[in-house]
Amino acid sequence: MAVSFAEMLDRHAARMPDRVALICEDRQTTWSELWQRCQAIAGGLCKLGLEKGDRVAFLGLNSDWFYEGYFAPSFMGGESVALNYRLSVNELSDCMTDSAAKVLIVDPARLTMARQICARLGGSVILIVIGTEPEGKEISYEKMIAAAHSIDQKIGAGDDTLIIYYSGGTTGRAKGVMLSHWNLFANSTGHAQVYDVCSEETHLLTGPMFHLGAGARVFCSVYAGCTMVIQPKFTPLGFLQIIQQHQVNATMFIPAMMQMVLDLPEFGDFDLSSLRQMSFGASPASEELLRRIVAAFPQVAISHGYGMTEASPVLAALGPEYHRADFAEKGKLGAVGRPVPHCDLRIFDANDQELPVGEIGEIVARGPNVMKGYLNQPELTAETLRGGWLHTGDAGYFDEDGILWISGRIKDMIISGGENIYPGEVENILSIHDQVAEVAVIGIPNDKWGEAVHAIVIPAAGTAPDPAELVAYCRANLATYKCPQTISFRHEPWPLSGANKILKTELRKPFWGS
């Protein structure tokens, strides 16, 4: 039989009907209610004329409604489209057109935006509104649920697409990543094992659900049958309040969030003893931050995850044994860890030939977690999955212990005097210098070498580092050809992508012109 997330919800509704599945603000939903609501939403979609394979988009902050938006379409064989509310009306209209979504469900916070999108699309999309009186042809979400129409389509399962995420705003056209029930099941099994996710615990979801980075927790919690407390939008105080109030056992964060949490003067006022497991990702954490986290949460097993939407998303994880007090001595600080059990990771050169241990190349992946493909982009799909391997675009290498290290993006690679230089390697060295808060390394034009290595440094608070000393420091720790030839200082935040990654294209622009 094929796996089905709709059937998993059915299972929990049967086994623990009255246990709370979802908590969001003042609303609580039991597994039985969640299952009934998803059934009713799917029935409503059938009533609107949708058929198996049709798409339903969701626009809004994190919420129990967004959670329903993940799964309810699959109850009638539909596919969900998770929209990024940080995008513009223009960009979102493109996503709607690309996905050919027939229905858009919107929460109260993004109603105006949704109406603009629908107007732009010329009335071809059915708008379902939550918590608002519908206007014109709009449909009330809660009234549709109350009507509880029956489902006349088959449920989604197996290779059927469960959800589409739009990713990669940094380079050209947005890519609709199609993930199947099998893809997300595979990730959930490995996720549950690697992060030790136990059934019937309570998880806090705080990262944006329009990204799979946070969304992966949703699928894993459904697989394992966990209660999910959803924070609509991250605030450090709210994060602590929720953990204490709902006795949260597990959560995830990105380093910038945890920095804010630890900096809160009220941090010590909260009882966080229920917390047992935390994972983090999206960007590496500094040694200083890791030390603070380990000291602040001594009882918590901390893991780092590395992945991408196209891999459903986890590819590798660095386990709790590397995030204890002695982690620095283990020499794996900054590594991304071991491949998850269901996935094969290799390092390929530019000709897709496998590289040996220790050599830097492109990280490629193969396994049941790898996406079906990019919607409407067969050529990009074929290129990205060529030879049966997902080409991540990340540069990295395996060390002798089988631990994966990231060296940056392949496209950020600097070629200077014929040598390949990965900015990540240089950034890793500079970032542990006392006077460096953050650093980005890029290639800039150089008549002699083609490109030269340039470092942009945000100095540590209260310091004014000497460029010559930083260069000397690099020379003491890196091969000469990898050392920055020039260093500039920056005092404003980095230009960031929607996924909070530094936009190096922006940093390069002043040097390269058009």
Please state, in angstroms and rounded to a whole number, the distance separating the CA atoms of residues 212 and 220.
11
Q: How many other β-carbons are positioned within 10 Å of the β-carbon of residue 84?
A: 20
Please state, in angstroms and rounded to a whole number, the distance separating the CA atoms of residues 182 and 164.
14
Find the length of the chain: 514
- For the record, the structure tokens of 24 come out as 């969001």
* The one among 1, 350, 461, 464 contacting a second copy by CB under 8 A: 1
Is 53 one of the binding residues for a second copy (CB under 8 A)? no
The sheet carrying 404-409 orders its strands as 344-348, 361-366, 390-398, 404-409
Is 388 one of the binding residues for a second copy (CB under 8 A)? yes
Is 11 one of the binding residues for a second copy (CB under 8 A)? yes
* Cβ at position 501, least distance to a second copy in Å: 25
Q: What part of residues 216-255 is at the interface with a second copy (CB under 8 A)? A: 223-225
Please state, in angstroms and rounded to a whole number, the distance separating the CA atoms of residues 56 and 89.
17
Nearest to 186 by CA among 76, 344, 346: 344
Number of residues that bind a second copy (CB under 8 A): 38
Choose the stretch contacting a second copy; rule: CB under 8 A; options: 234-242, 320-328, 337-345, 473-481.
Answer: 337-345
Choose the stretch contacting a second copy; rule: CB under 8 A; options: 186-194, 255-263, 408-416, 501-509.
Answer: 186-194
* Cβ at position 193, least distance to a second copy in Å: 5
The DSSP line for 356-377 is PTT--EEEEEESTTS-SEETT-
Q: How many other β-carbons are positioned within 10 Å of the β-carbon of residue 419?
A: 14
Q: What part of residues 473-492 is at the interface with a second copy (CB under 8 A)? A: none
* The one among 103, 174, 179, 186 contacting a second copy by CB under 8 A: 186
Burial 438-473 (b: 16+ CB within 10 A, else e): bbbbbbbeeeebebbbbbbbbbeeeeebeeeebbeb
Q: What part of residues 345-364 is at the interface with a second copy (CB under 8 A)? A: 346, 354
Is 367 one of the binding residues for a second copy (CB under 8 A)? yes
Q: Pick between residue 58 and residue 398 the one whose CB is nearest to a second copy.
A: 398
The DSSP line for 223-278 is HHT-EEEE-SS--HHHHHHHHHHHT--EEEE-HHHHHHHHH-GGGGGS--TT--EE
Is 199 one of the binding residues for a second copy (CB under 8 A)? yes
Q: Which contiguous run of DSSP H or E holds residue 346?
A: strand 344-348
Is 344 one of the binding residues for a second copy (CB under 8 A)? yes
Q: Pick between residue 134 and residue 368 the one whose CB is nearest to a second copy.
A: 368
Is 305 one of the binding residues for a second copy (CB under 8 A)? no
Nearest to 404 by CA among 307, 321, 312: 307
* The one among 14, 119, 237, 295 contacting a second copy by CB under 8 A: 14
Q: What part of residues 400-439 is at the interface with a second copy (CB under 8 A)? A: 402
Please state, in angstroms and rounded to a whole number, the distance separating the CA atoms of residues 477 and 143.
65
Q: Pick between residue 141 and residue 398 the one whose CB is nearest to a second copy.
A: 398
Please state, in angstroms and rounded to a whole number, the distance separating the CA atoms of residues 164 and 56.
10
Choose the stretch contacting a second copy; rule: CB under 8 A; options: 334-342, 376-384, 461-469, 489-497.
Answer: 334-342
Q: What part of residues 130-159 is at the interface with a second copy (CB under 8 A)? A: 158-159
* Cβ at position 36, least distance to a second copy in Å: 16
- For the record, the structure tokens of 273 come out as 């003893």
* Cβ at position 297, least distance to a second copy in Å: 24
Q: Which residues bind a second copy (CB under 8 A)?
A: 1-3, 7-8, 10-11, 14-15, 158-159, 182, 185-186, 189-190, 192-193, 199, 223-225, 339, 341-342, 344, 346, 354, 366-371, 385, 388, 390, 402
